[in-house]
């Protein structure tokens, strides 16, 4: 089989790349190790920056998002029983959109299939070859039969644990990483959200986040140990701890049946460069951010925007400037998002290593955000999203 762009991974990055390439007249084939049912049912966070919401709408895959998504014009920071609302609309003129990631995946899969796109689910033994030549290819097995996909470009969109990053020799890449000394215990609950907007709570017992998936489903998180034993957390214990961390006069936490619970470690990670020959890394294959700043999916969309523009110029005219500068262009935005995510994480979480001095400084920084329009504006500008291509 032959195509112009071979894409590894049918997550948001791979699907969006294939969709945008199609709109620009460029052929692609997606290879995905999992089944379609698994990919479409994989639950992930879904806070879309304003530029990403616009991108989905403008490229024809935003209809269900516009109907079912929840536009948010601010978020609430809570500490010591006090609230401070970051008013996105007043400070930036923009908003974010709460829309589950698995629905974005479903929308993109439907769009690709409707357009005749090829997504090969349950492709096994995927391997990348000859990316330093002008004839790279991807080998894989489908239904027990070995085959290969010849292409001009390979796009690695297969996540942090995928094979694409490892196809770059260790001598040709450098990794930057930080492991945080805590994780998030997250739950889904059949309960109406207790707030119309996200609430980020900094409490002496640790961080908590109140989010939502729909008007009837809440998504909530608790800071916990990275190796927390989830079996020790009964539903009653979870609700009691959430209630404690969100405490504020007049606030009542709505409870309901917990349908999902799990612990997520916290990590910051970047690999440089994000390209090697004809291989280009996108999304989690190249970078991971702690979820505090809601940047993971949005960074993937930014990578896709940069690569789509570069590939369109290359296939149409042979211009190589965009491809040559792909990594440099993406990393400008990646590191800004890393800084913001690290800052939000450091601002709101309790660190067991903090001295009393460091804890006081952390509280003072929160007070600075509460009391400064300038500081609130910087937070708002980063949260609603920088331009996809800087």
Residue 40 sits at φ, ψ, to 5 deg, of -75, -20
Residue-wise over 24-51: b if at least 16 C-beta within 10 A, else e?
eebbbbbbbbbebeebbeeeebbbbbbb
Do 144 and 138 touch, CB atoms closer than 8 A? no
Same-domain pairing of 164 and 299: yes
CATH number for position 343:
3.50.50.60
Tokens of 53: 């919401």
Q: How confident is the model at residue 122 (pLDDT cuts 50, 70, 90)?
A: very high
31 has a pLDDT exceeding 80:
yes
Confidence of residue 42 (pLDDT cuts 50, 70, 90): confident
Has residue 354 got a pLDDT over 90?
yes
Q: CA dist 91 to 48, 73, 87, 298, 382, Å?
A: 18, 10, 6, 20, 11
Answer whether 348's CB lies under 8 Å from 342's CB: no
Check 94, 140, 291, 349 and give the catalytic one. Answer: 291
Indicate which residue of 19, 50, 72, 203 is catalytic.
72
Share of the chain above pLDDT 90, in %: 97
43 pLDDT above the threshold of 90: no
Catalytic residue list contains 221: no
Peptide bond into 273 cis (omega under 30): yes
In a domain, 156, yes or no: yes
The per-residue pLDDT for range 185-243, each reduced to its tens digit, is: 999 999 999 999 999 999 999 999 999 988 999 999 999 999 999 999 999 999 999 99
Q: What does the alpha-carbon distance between residue 345 and residue 341 come to, in Å, rounded to a whole number?
A: 6
- Residue 358: burial class (beta carbons within 10 Å; 0-12, 13-18, 19+): exposed
Q: Are residues 208 and 330 in the same domain?
A: no
Q: Provide DSSP, 255-277.
A: ---EEEEEEEEEEEEEEE-SEET
Say whether both 33 and 163 belong to one domain: yes
Looking at the structure, tell me whether residues 37 and 132 fall in a common domain: yes
Select from 231, 266, 301 the last residue of a domain.
Answer: 266
Q: Do 256 and 293 share a domain, yes or no?
A: no
Q: Where are the alpha helices (DSSP H) in 50-152?
A: 50-58, 63-68, 88-92, 101-114
Q: What is the rounded average pLDDT for all residues in the chain?
A: 96
Mean local confidence (pLDDT), 148-174: 97
CA 316 to chain centre: 31
Is 38 annotated in the active site? no
Domain presence at residue 70: no
Domain final residue, candidates 243, 266, 289:
266
In a domain, 62, yes or no: no
Q: Are 62 and 56 in contact (CB under 8 A)?
A: yes
72 assigned to active site:
yes
Same domain, 340 and 198: no
User: In this structure, is residue 236 part of a structural domain?
Assistant: yes
Q: What single-letter DSSP state applies at residue 276?
A: E
In a domain, 242, yes or no: yes
pTM: 0.96
Of 266, 292, 321, which residue sits at a domain end? 266
Quick one: which of 122, 136, 125, 129 has its CA closest to 167? 129
Does a structural domain hold residue 16? yes
| Contact present, 290 and 233 (Cβ < 8 Å) | no
Domain range for 42 is 5-46+100-173+273-350
Rounded to whole angstroms, the Cα distance separating 330 from 326 reads: 6
Hey, is 239 helix, strand or coil? helix
Average pLDDT over residues 276-286: 98
Same domain? For 221 and 329 the reply is no
Q: Are residues 204 and 260 in the same domain?
A: yes
Lookup: tokens for 14:
């791979």
Q: What is the pLDDT of residue 113?
A: 97
Quickly count: other Cβ atoms within 10 Å of residue 161's Cβ.
Answer: 9
- φ/ψ of residue 248, rounded to 5: -170, 140
Read off the CATH number of the domain in which 261 is found: 3.30.9.10
Catalytic one among 180, 200, 276, 326?
Answer: 200
Residues 129, 261, single domain; the answer is: no
Q: Does residue 43 or residue 15 have the better pLDDT?
A: 15
Of 3-7, 40-44, 200-204, 269-273, which gets the smallest average pLDDT? 40-44
Annotated catalytic residue, options 180, 295, 326, 349: 295
- Per-residue model confidence (pLDDT) at position 146: 96
- Number of domains making up the chain: 2
**Residue 61: inside a domain:** no
The answer to the question of residue 367 being in a domain is no
Q: Is 291 a catalytic residue?
A: yes
Same-domain status, 157 and 255: no
Mean pLDDT of 371-379: 97
Handedness of CA 104, 110, 113, 119 (dihedral sign): positive
The span from the CA of 8 to the CA of 17, in Å, is 11
Contact by Cβ (8 Å): 212, 193: yes
Both 162 and 302 in one domain: the answer is yes
Tokens standing for residue 348: 């709101």
Over residues 310-339, mean pLDDT:
98
User: Is residue 273 among the annotated active site residues?
Assistant: no
Shared domain check, 189 and 228: yes
pLDDT class for 44, splitting at 50, 70, 90? Answer: confident
Is the separation of the CB atoms in 1 and 148 below 8 Å?
A: yes
**Residue 8: pLDDT band by 50, 70, 90 thresholds?**
very high
pLDDT band at 390 (very low <50, low <70, confident <90, very high): confident
Six-digit token pair at 197?
Answer: 């907007």
| CB 5 within 8 Å of CB 21 | yes
């Amino acid at each position: 089989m032959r195509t112009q762009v071979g894409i590894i991974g049918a997550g948001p990055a791979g699907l969006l790349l294939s969709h945008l390439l199609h709109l620009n007249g460029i052929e692609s084939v997606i290879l995905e190790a999992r089944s379609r049912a698994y990919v479409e049912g994989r639950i992930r966070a879904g806070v879309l920056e304003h530029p990403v919401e616009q991108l989905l709408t403008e490229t024809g895959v935003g209809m269900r998002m516009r109907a079912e998504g929840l536009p948010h014009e601010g978020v609430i920071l809570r500490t010591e029983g006090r609230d401070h609302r970051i008013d996105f609309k007043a400070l930036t003129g923009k908003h974010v959109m709460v829309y589950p990631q698995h629905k974005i995946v479903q929308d993109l899969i439907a769009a690709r299939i409707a357009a005749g796109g090829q997504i090969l689910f349950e492709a096994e033994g995927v391997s990348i070859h000859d990316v330093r030549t002008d004839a790279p290819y991807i080998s894989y097995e489908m239904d027990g039969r070995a085959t290969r996909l010849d292409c001009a470009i390979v796009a690695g969109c297969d996540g942090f644990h995928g094979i694409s990053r490892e196809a770059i020799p260790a001598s040709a890449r450098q990794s930057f990483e930080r492991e945080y000394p805590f994780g998030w215990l997250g739950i889904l609950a059949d309960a109406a959200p207790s707030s119309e907007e996200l609430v980020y709570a900094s409490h002496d017992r640790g961080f908590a986040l109140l989010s939502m998936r729909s008007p009837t489903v809440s998504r909530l998180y608790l800071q916990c140990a990275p190796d927390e034993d989830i079996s020790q957390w009964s539903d009653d214990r979870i609700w009691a701890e959430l209630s404690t961390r969100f405490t504020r006069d007049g606030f009542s936490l709505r409870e309901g049946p917990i349908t999902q619970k799990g612990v997520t470690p916290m990590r910051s990670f970047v690999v440089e460069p994000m390209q090697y020959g004809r291989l280009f890394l996108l999304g989690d294959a190249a970078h991971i951010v702690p979820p505090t700043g809601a940047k993971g999916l949005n960074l993937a969309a930014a990578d896709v925007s940069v690569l789509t523009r570069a590939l369109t110029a290359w296939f149409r005219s042979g211009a190589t400037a965009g491809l040559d500068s792909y990594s440099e262009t993406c990393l400008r935005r990646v590191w800004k998002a890393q800084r913001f995510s690290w800052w939000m994480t450091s601002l709101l979480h309790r660190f067991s290593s903090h001295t009393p001095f460091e804890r006081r400084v952390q509280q003072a920084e929160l007070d600075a955000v509460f009391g400064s329009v300038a500081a609130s504006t910087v937070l708002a500008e980063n949260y609603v999203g920088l331009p996809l291509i800087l």
